[in-house]
Amino acid sequence: MSYKSKRMVAGLLVNIALVVGYVIYAFKTVASTGDNLQVWALAMLVFIGASIVAIIIIQIIFNIVVSIGITVREADCDDKKAGQLIQSSMMDDEMDKLIVRRANYATFVAIGIGFIAALAVLALGLSAVLALHLIFGSLLLGAIIGGVMSIYYYEVGISHA
C-alpha cells in the first residue's frame, strides 16, 4: 500500500470514528433533547471541531511514523538520501490531482443529495432536527466516500476506474 493510500486510511478511520461517536451520542441524547435545534447544532459543531483536531494530530503522527519507517528501512543510505526519499513519497503529481478531483466530485455529490433531502424534509413539514441530521450525515458520508474512492484510485489506478 502506498504512502498516500495509508494517509487516506488514517483520515478515513478518523471519519468513521467520528460517525460512530456521533451516532452513540445521538442515541443517548435524543430522548432528553427532542427537537431542540440549539443542542443538536452545538453537538455537531463540537464533533466537527473534534474531528478537525483529530485529523491534524493523526496526520502529524502518521507522517512522523512514516518518516521513521523510511529512515529505518533505508538504514544503509545517508541522511540526505533518506530525506529525499521521504520528501518524494509525500510530493503530489498530476495523478494525485486527478484522484483528488474525482474523490471531491463524489464527496460533493453526496453532500448535495443530503442537502436536497434536507430541503425536502423541511418542505414536507417534517422535523428541522431531521433536516439538520441529514445535512450533517451527508457531510460525514461524503468524507467517507471521498476517502474510500481515493484509496481505491491510489491502489487500482485512475485509468481502471
Kindly state whether residue 90 falls inside one of the protein's structural domains.
Answer: yes
Kindly state whether residue 8 falls inside one of the protein's structural domains.
Answer: yes
Kindly state whether residue 18 falls inside one of the protein's structural domains.
Answer: yes
Kindly state whether residue 105 falls inside one of the protein's structural domains.
Answer: yes
- pTM of the shown model: 0.79
Q: How large is the greatest C-alpha to C-alpha distance in the chain, in angstroms?
A: 68
Within a 10 A sphere around the Cβ of 17, how many other Cβ atoms?
A: 14
Task: Provide the pLDDT for residue 105.
Answer: 95
Number of domains in the chain: 1
Task: Provide the pLDDT for residue 83.
Answer: 66
Kindly state whether residue 161 falls inside one of the protein's structural domains.
Answer: no
Per-residue pLDDT of the chain (161 residues; tens, 9 = 90+): 777 888 888 889 988 998 898 888 888 876 677 778 888 888 889 999 999 999 999 989 988 888 777 777 766 666 666 666 666 666 667 888 898 899 999 999 999 999 999 999 999 999 899 999 999 999 999 999 999 999 999 888 777 65
Task: Provide the pLDDT for residue 95.
Answer: 84
- Which domain range does residue 31 map to? 3-156
Task: Provide the pLDDT for residue 144.
Answer: 93
Task: Provide the pLDDT for residue 76.
Answer: 66
Task: Provide the pLDDT for residue 142.
Answer: 94
CA 154 to chain centre: 16
Kindly state whether residue 113 falls inside one of the protein's structural domains.
Answer: yes
Kindly state whether residue 48 falls inside one of the protein's structural domains.
Answer: yes
Task: Provide the pLDDT for residue 11.
Answer: 87
Q: What is the DSSP letter of 126?
A: -
Kindly state whether residue 123 falls inside one of the protein's structural domains.
Answer: yes
